[in-house]
Chain A
Amino acid sequence: MDLSSLAIFSPVPTSSNSIAYNRKFSCSSEKYAGLELNEDKRLKIDKPLDANSLIGAEPHYRTVKNLLLWNVSFIDVVLISSPMGMLGLPFLTRNKDFSAKVYATEATARIGQLMMEDLVSMHKEYRQFYGAEESDAPQWMKWDELELLPLELRQIVFGADGTEFGGWMPLYSAADVKACMLKVECLKYAEEACYGGTLIIQAFSSGLEIGSCNWGISGPKASISYISSSVFSSAAAMSFNYQALQRSDVILYSDFSSCNGLDKFDNDDNCSGAAGNNYSNLSSDDVNSEGHDTLLNDEEYLEEMEKLNFICSCSVDCIKAGGSVLIPIARIGITLQLLERFAVNLASENMRVPIFLISSVAEELIAFTNIIPEWLCEQWQDRLYSGQPLFSHVEMLKDGRLYLFPAIHSLKLLKTWQEPCIVFCPHWSLRLGPVVHLLLRWSADQNSLLVMEEGLDANLALLPFKPMAMKVLQCSFVSGIQMQKSHHLLKILQPRHVLFPEILRQHIGPLETVFSFNYYSENKMVHIPYMKDSELDITVELACQLQYTTLKQQDMNISRLKGELMIEHGRYRLHLGNDEQVSSHPRPLVHFGRIDLNNLLTALQKLDMNATLEEVTGAAGSHKASRIHVSEPSKAMIEVIEAQTVISAADENIASVISQAISGVLDCI
């Protein structure tokens, strides 16, 4: 699901306040203006983008645009690689024709479920305030309304190529989420799930987020690895296990992070000046920085740690100045790391500032992180082995340094609230949830700090909160494989073929590789130019019964093979069929090759037969057939016509002896 699409909507405040009023006002005025200026649409199109031009309605979401065009009953398996990658799943699973198996790691499934539940509860809140939508097609989706939108918003609604409009969907319900979760089969890392006997599906850690993974799929015919955005030395999750993906036949390379980075770079150029309040920008450095020869050097990890420390020190500075810190970050690993750092930094500064974690699923999320050491990075696992608690937030919760609240308006929160403070909450594109309320509260405070993850269009995201006096710190965390590293990685993985996304074509350029590769793009079927035999196991019992013959021409032994083929755990296995079948209907012997008449004559003479050769010619003098007449020990005749030989004999024994002699001069099986 494309969460950035949320940005075109007006923020949903969690309590009635000024913006709600503004929103209603702007809506009606727009309508009015629209009616009046209906004649001159050009004027409307050029309307400048401001807070009032955002759509005031319950947000819809842009999903995979061709999802609806698919016959979902044709999907056999759905693999979910990360919690974020799961948000659109209920759109698919609620289709009544959906019958595929969905695989996800246990941690992905749990965190993904919590995120979806949080999103659903945000919408529930919206409806509590403003009532439900009247129909499936809300006002803003009508053509005349859409035409009134500023260009920037229309581009988002229709997509860059104008085809995305069909992909907009209202959010799924809580029941959809519940039904969806029932269809998800949970796996551990490297657990072998066997689909339909033929495919072995395994998830391997990708390092991006707790529970996120890459996939290895193998069958008797070939093996495929799916590489999603992966992080070599992750700061929170178990690191990228790339060794497990070695030597697969095909790699489906699906890490888009490096091209996102470059896209980002362009966007920044376009709207420079708009986000004038950015006082620091850590982005794109890591994307374009020097390549590293080895994949596992600490640099990336240390850089990441530095970023986190930087956020921490900025926050401390900000609190010292009397401001509060708002950290709307969706990535749970980053949140956990920051909590650890704050615990240390605040203690060393001897500051007692409350930290609030506000989300409808905050409690469940934190409880969950405490019981999944198997999914965490080495540094945190080591704490377990050395007898320390996994996280310091357990202690922080106990002694009142950290609070978990389901919503901003909960009574307990109002009682404990104090500023300055540090607040963690989901970002939901700065349109949904507690973040909206807090931004409205602090946007005018120049001492306060907003920490945002890069990837959001800051200009559009902050639009409703302008003018912003609040400081904004945009950070890009490591979210994939750097291009330079990916070359090195593929060298190590030794695939036979790689499929790159089309948008990476320019970054890849001419590669000198041992593997072949081509590109894939949306809605295009790709055929992989690569063929291999299936692997077959033949049981020893069957192999023992084989009778080999050696071919006359080639240096080759052959044997007729007969058994029962089974598909067991991704392998073809040929068993000895039951005995009755084997003996009762022996297949006819097959002869091939040409008969050398002289050889045959010699062979017959060796068998004490009196044989003479006769050439039969046709009426036109053409050669018709060769006949060998046998007179002793009893009469028989052999007629050879091209690829057919007929033995005529009255005596069973001599017929059989002759046919053996013929088998001797021909190849047979």
Chain B
Amino acid sequence: MVIECLVLGAGQEVGKSCVVVTINGKRIMFDCGMHMGYLDHRRYPDFSLISKSHDFTRSLSCIIITHFHLDHIGALPYFTQVCGYNGPIYMTYPTKALAPLMLEDYRKVMVDRRGEEEQFSSEHIVECMKKVTAVDLKQTIQVDEDLQIRAYYAGHVLGAAMFYAKVGDAAIVYTGDYNMTPDRHLGAAQIDRLQLDLVITESTYATTYRDSKYVREREFLKAVHKCVASGGKVLIPTFALGRAQELCMLLDDYWERMNLKVPIYFSAGLTIQANMYYKVLINWTSQKVKDTYATRNAFDFKNVLSFDRSLINAPGACVLFATPGMISGGFSLEVFKQWAPCEKNLVTLPGYCVAGTVGHKLMSAKIPTQIRLDEDVQINVRCQIHQLSFSPHTDAKGIMDLVKFLSPKHVILVHGEKPKMVTLKEKIQSELGIQCYLPANSESLCIPTTHHIKAGASDAFVRSCLSPNFKFLKTNSAELDDSHKRTMPLLQVYDDRVSEGILTLQKNQSPKVVNQNEFMEALGVEKHEVKLAHCFRVYIPDSESGDASDCLPSTSRKGSLLHLISEKLCRELPDFDVQDCQEHIQIQSVVVSFCSNEKCPHRTGVSLQSVDKKEVHFCCSWSVADDALAWRIVASIKNLELDT
């Protein structure tokens, strides 16, 4: 049994997340994203690797989307409406509500502003979203008889989820993007301790370790305040959803405290509408935000206005939230062109920018600089740049914590940069001892899985397993040094509940486990005891007080002899419990006793003639299982002659 992982996107890179996982015959596509850095065929995952015949509906059991970011959902309308996938799609309620906004916004940017040929239409988005089944956190969904999936809170953005998938005994978790520390509006990722064969985790910040967020928030507020105080304009390019709300909460709160009157604008209706969703879906934010809803919904921003294009060149300070976040086009680029040449203005950059975007160029640039957009357009950049270092992604510690918590048998890293991923991989393997892989795009990987044999178990078997099985072990104090003597109790009690039973396999029936008695009863057979016995002669020389023993060994002498043997056996067989029961010695099933029966049937091979007074017969009997032990005892008693 194996899990097969086919990485279609985000393999050793960030962008177009898409992994197809096959578990016991069920095929699940996790995320269906697009790459923001490419405009050609490379922007979509190579779907042809899933099915040569392009019959995607039949070759996939379901699609799971972790959150509404375009690099996780951007290719979905294309895949369902153009490529024709028609099967089930799962995402959380907020993702289902917010994804159409993201997709529509992206489509508009592509078609209206860039003048590109559209990859999918508005109707495509609507039709695509109709196929989506919304799920709640922790809701366990039976996709079909065998495939079970479940969403867990991932932080990152509203509605982001990690997904657990299980088929038979094999189970995996695909994390999507997640955050292990709570931020201003979202909680930290949360998951149960699960038995997993594989975890596929993002690794955007595979080597970064971040300090407290509080400091970085203050730096941001200070930079914004300084700029508006001197009459500058602040451009905050962000994703419309998530980061915008977080920063806005931060600013709204700060404006309130500092009694600032400078307007804060949201570009376009998109973010305003997004705020409405945040209000309805407040249960998906952090506990702190949730607790305040009865009095005032935290997403009812007091100081926020909507922006009008005519305000771009209006005089006076202002703060503007505009999409897209990496200034890759759209309104944020339009405003950037206007505001960048002025030193008074401030542009904030998100923590991560895809290569090729203006944002990415600005990150490494030294101000003042010039940025070439295309053949004709070049922008003089003189404004201040503030890099936001709070990211909704987990840092390396968070990844390690999660992997350690889940302790899967294998880990696959995706959604990161190769050199950093290599470092993290080494760390996971060396520190946690978990096999780790980082497949590239289009690579396929096989991972062995857990498998259990299913059997029926009778009540009696289960009961016998659950009843306590106490063992008392005496500590041999002679073996211990002084320091141990004090700490180790002389008697230790164990409760080793070892389950023993009989597994039966019959044609056309599933295996069944019963206990021994039931088994015998069911078959209608009786136990047949097989024993071994041996009666042998031992020459006993007169002991120290030989003079007093002219006669046959008396009972008392026999007793003391037996006692002598028992002591000897005790010494020689320290692992066994030697029971001295007056008339005989018992060790496990081996019974040793004197034999006075001249015609004992177990005396074989030796002549029965001479009856020496100093000769004694011992009769031993035992069951087959203790055969080896029994012969050791026989040998030991025979040795008595030599010893004494």
Q: Which A residues lie at the B interface, using CB under 8 A?
A: 187-192, 202, 220, 244, 363-364, 367, 370-374, 381, 384-385, 387, 389-390, 533-540, 543, 546, 548, 551, 553-565, 568, 572-574, 577, 581, 586-595, 627, 634-637, 639, 643-652, 655-656, 659, 662-663, 666-667, 669
Contacts and interface: CB of A to CB of B under 8 A. Distances in A.
Contacts of B457: 220, 533-536, 572
B486 interface: no
A372 B502 contact: no
Interface in B533-570: 533-536
Interface string B425-453: 00000000000000000000000001111
Main secondary structure of the interface of A (DSSP, over half): mixed
A280 B451 CA distance: 64
A647 B530 contact: yes
B129 A385 contact: yes
A388 B100 CA distance: 13
28 contacts: A191-B138, A191-B140, A367-B293, A367-B294, A370-B279, A371-B279, A384-B97, A534-B459, A537-B453, A537-B455, A539-B452, A559-B505, A561-B500, A561-B503, A562-B500, A565-B466, A577-B496, A577-B498, A587-B625, A588-B589, A592-B528, A634-B605, A635-B604, A637-B601, A645-B530, A646-B621, A648-B534, A649-B534
Nearest to B535: A648
A220 B631 CA distance: 46
Contact of B625 (A367, A390, A562, A588): A588
B338 interface: no
Given A635-B604, A667-B525, A560 B498 contact: no
Interface string B168-200: 010000000000000000000000000100000
A540 B453 contact: yes
Given A539-B452, A587-B500, A634-B605, 12 more contacts: A384-B277, A558-B505, A560-B503, A562-B501, A565-B499, A591-B528, A591-B530, A592-B525, A595-B528, A648-B533, A656-B627, A662-B530
B471 to A, nearest CB: 10
B412 interface: no
Given A535-B454, A643-B526, A555 B506 contact: yes
A562 B535 contact: no
B497 interface: yes
B337 interface: no
Interface stretch (B25-33, B363-371, B512-520): B512-520
A561 B530 contact: no
A134 B147 CA distance: 62
B452 A639 contact: no
B526 A364 contact: no
Given A565-B462, A643-B526, A385 B532 contact: no
B314 interface: no
Contacts of A543: 453
Contacts of B96: 385
B381 to A, nearest CB: 37
A593 B466 CA distance: 30
Contacts of B602: 637, 646, 648
Interface stretch (B113-121, B224-232, B280-288): B280-288
B498 A562 contact: yes
A192 B137 CA distance: 11
B529 interface: yes
Contacts of B528: 591-595, 643-645, 666
Contact of B505 (A187, A220, A363, A548): A548
A634 B534 CA distance: 14
B134 A381 contact: yes
A647 B533 contact: yes
A220 B93 CA distance: 33
A364 B294 CA distance: 7
A413 to B, nearest CB: 20
A545 to B, nearest CB: 11
Contacts of B533: 646-648
A656 B531 CA distance: 11
A652 B631 contact: yes
Contacts of A655: 532, 534, 627
Contacts of B498: 562-564, 577, 581
Contacts of A663: 530, 624
Contacts of B462: 220, 534, 536, 565, 572
A574 B499 contact: yes
B452 A189 contact: no
Contacts, number: 244
B113 to A, nearest CB: 22
B141 A533 contact: no
B192 to A, nearest CB: 9
Given A371-B283, A537-B454, A558 B502 contact: yes
A538 B621 contact: no
A384 B139 contact: no
A554 B519 CA distance: 13
Contact of A586 (B129, B601, B625): B625
A202 B140 contact: yes
A191 B519 CA distance: 40
B625 A536 contact: no
B611 interface: no
Interface string B604-635: 11100000000000000101111100010000
Given A534-B462, A561-B501, A648-B604, A370 B280 contact: yes
Given A560-B502, A643-B529, A588 B623 contact: yes
Contacts of B496: 577, 581
Contacts of B222: none
A557 B505 contact: yes
B504 interface: yes
Contacts of B536: 650
A546 B527 CA distance: 22
B532 A559 contact: no
Nearest to B516: A590
B280 A390 contact: yes
Interface string B102-116: 000000000000000
Contacts of A562: 498-501
Contact of A647 (B451, B532, B626): B532
A4 B280 CA distance: 36
Contact of A639 (B523, B534, B601): B601
Contacts of B138: 187-188, 191-192
B604 A536 contact: no
Contacts of A595: 528
B455 A536 contact: yes
A556 B506 contact: yes
A662 B624 CA distance: 11
Given A540-B453, A659-B530, A565 B465 contact: yes
Across the A-B interface, the 3 shortest Cβ-Cβ residue pairs: A588-B625, A533-B456, A537-B452
Contact of A536 (B142, B281, B466, B513): B513
Contacts of A555: 506-507
A645 B531 contact: yes
A114 B466 CA distance: 44
B4 interface: no
B472 to A, nearest CB: 15
A565 B129 CA distance: 46
A42 B147 CA distance: 71
B502 A669 contact: yes
Given A586-B625, A646-B531, A561 B502 contact: yes
Contacts of B604: 635-637, 648-650
A650 B618 CA distance: 12
Contacts of B281: 371, 373
Contacts of B534: 648-650, 655
A15 B85 CA distance: 65
Contact of B452 (A540, A565, A588, A635): A540
A146 to B, nearest CB: 44
B273 interface: yes
A385 B97 contact: yes
Given A543-B453, A556-B504, A647-B533, A387 B273 contact: yes
